[in-house]
Structure formats: C-alpha cells, structure tokens
C-alpha cells in the first residue's frame, strides 16, 4: 500500500490517497524500524554519529549510524 502511494514518475501520476491500508502499513513500518532486532540499543553520546545521504531527481534517502 505505501509503494502505490509513493510510486510516482513523470509519465505516471495519480492522485495521492491515504486510507486505512496505507496507515496500517506505515504504522507497521515504524514499529519494525524502532524495535529489536533492527533498533538494537540507545545511542552512545561519546561515539560520533555518521550521516550518509543520497538524492536523485526522484527521491532522497539517508542513514544515521554509529560504529560500536
């Protein structure tokens, strides 16, 4: 459901619709990102953070990490 909402290209545009299926998928995505085993521990304030980013004409992304 989330891919269908966000998958837009120059040649294929559709109306943005957010319904119960998209909300459920988004809530599940947030849960996966913020719980074990993906989110293993709290940040260590004595260790540097590394922010890696990337962008193109159609999207952006980023990763915030710490080496342990």
Q: Which has the closest alpha carbon to 20: 43, 1, 41, 48?
A: 1
pLDDT-derived band at 48 (thresholds 50, 70, 90) equals very high
pTM: 0.48
Distance CA 2, CA 23 (A): 8
Residues 64/43, Cβ–Cβ less than 8 Å: no
Which ranges in 1-68 belong to alpha helices (H)?
Answer: 2-6, 20-34
Domain span at 13: 2-66
Is the model's pLDDT at 12 over the cut of 70?
no
In the chain, the number of structural domains is 1
């Amino acid at each position: 459901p989330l891919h269908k909402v966000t998958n837009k290209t120059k040649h294929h545009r559709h109306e943005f619709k957010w319904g119960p299926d998209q909300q459920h998928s988004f809530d599940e995505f947030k849960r996966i990102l913020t719980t074990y085993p993906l989110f293993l521990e709290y940040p260590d304030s004595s260790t540097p953070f590394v922010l890696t980013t990337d962008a193109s004409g159609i999207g952006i992304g980023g990763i915030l990490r710490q080496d342990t």
